Structure 1
């Protein structure tokens, strides 16, 4: 093996291993995602098997970090990361690029080894996509259509059965809203909800309680105007967790955005028995809020008194995501009601 070839292989095995370790730790500790962490770990071990099939002593003997001309070349943003998403993106790219270099280089002497590395690279692409979906919550929220608030006292069926039904029916976001549960019970319920949402690919939001949201591994927390200030929540929760804020005026929406909100809920749109409100913001505010939010690239969720029959009034003014509560969870068949609302949304959006 030529010395230059050994150095190329050594450097890129190191890059790939380091990137895999970063990705595995973020899947494990940041996102508490067991299946993804396991997939990355398996890939890391299989890469180690490939490495062991080469002469590691030759690779190490040709390593010369002190004389490596590339160690002093730095990209302008190399030491800048703004969130876990950017860390994952950087390391996923580092992994796939390193695997490609290893694959191309081993084609010189070991085509069979190159085929193994190609297979590992394709798996790395799939892991990158999965981690992106897990970490890029705001983008997932922007693509959501149906957001359901779950409160046991409003359910006609056992709450867990309702949750499973609405997830099977394609609910994109679930907000657990339980104002009166003891903390231990709320934490347990939040963890159950998180796990089922994760399995279904849905976003899980907890109402009001950032402490429980953190402990349960929720995707985010939702607060009202009289709850903890958004800026304080952002300080507590960091940059990766979603924060939603209820608003009924543009001034409230603007303040929420300035303080670090990930999305706004605009409402109430119509009269509702779920939560008493003196002011009905209505579709006029939905129109203002949806335009305002689109200009600032922040998701806007319409909420309050929404049913299959009135969704068209909201999509007509720019709303793409609706949050519902009693219309779904108090129904005899929550799954069918979810499907009705999604069908109404799809039909309305198609002609909007």
Structure 2
């Protein structure tokens, strides 16, 4: 059997295996039926193109099968450390995407010696694979997001009883496991220094730091992530700036926005507004039922969420009843005489519901 034919056969198996891994990630992890269907079609189209090219060249498929020799193939013993372990689903997708593209290119080049027309078909499949792989990789996000219980949005102007630094320390003492820097009007130079200072307070306590709106500031400060609204940078543009270096959260007000954010690769979603708030007035409330929709949704339910707006120890029970697992709060903590006590009460309500 000609070595070129054996190259095509081996890479066809490799490409289909990689496509199947991506297809299953899209199907079972992401719930992305359209992407899964696209990858399934790619596998079948590839087999059809190769079968037509080899059949046209008079290659007997039974003879080809007989020439397969995994026991004697020196390539089966070649591996490196990166192939032995995967850090999570994003790493699985990245490895499969790379393997798929490489195998399709090898098939394309090899087919040029047999059937240039079919080689052109494989070239189109290769470009299609890049688009489908990208959708899977982006949708999986970083895979590092935790389900925070209490995230405190820090704005200095709301800190009426303590300095912003002391509010941060007291919130962390009370059980806040995430703090988000939200200073809309602060100049960039001051903002990056503020973010660095907040990281210095939170990181030793194992508390995550998120920066509002600004992936550049988050990266410079060594923060854990960035949070964007519907009118800010989209998730893909944040990834172009930060890659997997930052968690990305997205504000959403209804299920369609939440699903879109998750499909684009948000690591967590903000859900709201839940209740009326003096901090940020919204004409329409999403309400606690929105949290219930997110938690029960096959797509959105797999990522972390934070309910936001007007949440207090007095009304958090409504959110708990809807299945809420985490909240983002601002004025109720920043403006409190005892920020630690407010955070303890919020966290106790969430954890009490889980234990119950």
SS of structure 2 residue aligned to 1:186: helix
State which of 138, 155, 162 in structure 1 corresponds to 2:159: 155
Q: Does structure 2 conserve the Cα–Cα contact (< 8 Å) formed by 1:146 and 1:173?
A: yes
1:192 aligns with 2:197: yes
Matches of 1:214 and 1:295, distance apart in 2: 26
1:260 aligns with 2:265: yes
Q: Does structure 2 conserve the Cα–Cα contact (< 8 Å) formed by 1:248 and 1:267?
A: yes
Deviation at 1:73, TM superposition (A): 3.1
Matches of 1:317 and 1:167, distance apart in 2: 26
Q: Gaps (5+ residues) in structure 1?
A: 1-68, 88-135
State which of 319, 335, 353 in structure 2 corresponds to 1:348: 353
Partner of 1:318: 323
CA displacement, residues 53-90 of structure 1 (integer Å, 9 cap, x when unaligned): xxxxxxxxxxxxxxxx9995327962997889969xxx
Deviation at 1:254, TM superposition (A): 1.3
CA displacement, residues 290-318 of structure 1 (integer Å, 9 cap, x when unaligned): 22277652111111110001111111111
The 1:294/1:330 distance shift into structure 2, 3 A limit, reads: farther
Matches of 1:233 and 1:82, distance apart in 2: 22
State which of 170, 173, 193 in structure 2 corresponds to 1:168: 173
Superposed CA RMSD in Å reads 2.9
Deviation at 1:348, TM superposition (A): 3.1
Matches of 1:211 and 1:309, distance apart in 2: 37
* TM-score normalised by L of structure 2: 0.60
Matches of 1:294 and 1:72, distance apart in 2: 39
Q: Which moved more, 1:257-266 or 1:336-345?
A: 336-345
Q: Does structure 2 conserve the Cα–Cα contact (< 8 Å) formed by 1:234 and 1:260?
A: no
State which of 191, 211, 227 in structure 2 corresponds to 1:222: 227
SS of structure 2 residue aligned to 1:246: strand
1:145 aligns with 2:121: no
Partner of 1:241: 246
Matches of 1:277 and 1:189, distance apart in 2: 28
Q: Gaps (5+ residues) in structure 2?
A: 1-73, 93-140
Q: Which moved more, 1:151-160 or 1:76-85?
A: 76-85
Matches of 1:137 and 1:146, distance apart in 2: 21
Matches of 2:214 and 2:235, distance apart in 1: 12
Deviation at 1:155, TM superposition (A): 0.6
The 1:76/1:155 distance shift into structure 2, 3 A limit, reads: closer
Larger RCO: 1 or 2 (CA < 8 Å, sep 6+): 2
Partner of 1:292: 297
Q: Which moved more, 1:75-84 or 1:264-273?
A: 75-84
Partner of 1:306: 311
Partner of 2:136: none
Matches of 1:250 and 1:335, distance apart in 2: 33
* TM-score normalised by L of structure 1: 0.61
Q: Does structure 2 conserve the Cα–Cα contact (< 8 Å) formed by 1:328 and 1:334?
A: yes
CA displacement, residues 259-304 of structure 1 (integer Å, 9 cap, x when unaligned): 2211101001000111121210001111101222776521111111
SS of structure 2 residue aligned to 1:194: helix
Matches of 2:254 and 2:351, distance apart in 1: 27
